[in-house]
Homo-oligomer: A and B are copies of this chain.
Amino acid sequence: MRRLTNLEYLLLGLLHQSPASGYALRKSFATTPLGHYSDSPGSIYPALNRLRRRNLLQPLPHQPSSGRRTLLFSLTARGLAELRSWLQHPVALEEVRQDAGGVMLRFVFCAQVFGQGSARRLVLQIAARANEIILDLESYLRGPGKSLPLTGRLALEQGLEGYRALARWASRAAKDLKGSST
């Protein structure tokens, strides 16, 4: 079975917090500034139905006494297991390289599902991977990168600065998470 998309994991994470309707989920996408996922119905409803077909979530029986039907979804046991296993994956180098948004998504939900201690461990992994990437880029810039045109080199340096900022942030976040234990 294929891997879930970030959107699908995001839905699992939000529904772990509390059951919600597709419409409510759309609205929360539109308001919160997290990684801005599209709030169009053409993405959310099909995603919810894919998760439903996999038995990762289910609609609460919620008989509206009359009229306007809304489906409130909640996680199934399998959905919760899938969410937990996603959050517990070790942070891979390639993940940080090509899916930084997904990594941050994991970070956010990690604390809510497992507590700040787990979030701290995750953020330390992020820092480690970021530092590996930094070494890679630095050695490339010292080696074959020498022959790049100025703008090409500058572009690589922009990436490098991004990873340095990530590593600094991760170290600081680890300290912030050392404190209270929710």
* A contact residues vs B (CB 8 Å cutoff): 33-34, 36, 97-98, 104, 107-108, 110-112, 116, 119, 137, 140, 149-152, 154-158, 161-162, 164-166, 168-169, 173, 176-177
By a CB distance below 8 angstroms, the chain B residues around A116 are 150-151
Q: Report yes or no: A157 in contact with B177, Cβ–Cβ below 8 A.
A: no
Q: What is the CA–CA distance of A176 and B157 in the complex, to the nearest angstrom?
A: 12
A104 in complex: contacting residue of B104, B111, B155, B169, CB < 8 Å = B155
Contact residue among B98, B154, B157, B165 (Cβ-Cβ distance under 8 Å from A162): B165
Q: Does B151 lie within 8 Å of A111, measured CB to CB?
A: yes
- Please name all residues of chain B whose beta carbon is closer than 8 Å to the beta carbon of A161 when the two chains form the complex: 165-166, 168-169
Given known contacts A107-B155, A157-B169, A161-B168, is B33 in contact with A149 (CB within 8 Å)? Answer: no
| Bound-state Cα–Cα, A44 to B165, Å | 33
Which residue of chain B lies nearest to A164 when distances are taken between CB atoms in the complex?
B165
Are A33 and B156 in contact (CB-based, < 8 A)?
A: yes
B111 touches A158 (CB 8 A): no
Given contacts A33-B140, A36-B98, A98-B36, contact A158 B166 (CB under 8 A): yes
Residues of B near A177 (CB, < 8 A) are 150, 154
Chain B residues with CB under 8 Å of A97's CB are 36
Quote the shortest CB–CB distance from A160 to chain B (angstroms). Answer: 9
Q: Kindly name the residue among A110, A151, A168, A173 whose own CB sees the greatest number of chain B CB atoms within 10 A.
A: A151
By the criterion CB–CB under 8 Å, are B158 and A104 in contact? Answer: yes
CA distance A161 to B166 in the complex (A): 8
Residue among A33, A168, A176 facing the most chain B CB atoms (10 A cut-off)? A33
A164–B161 Cα distance when bound, in Å, is 10
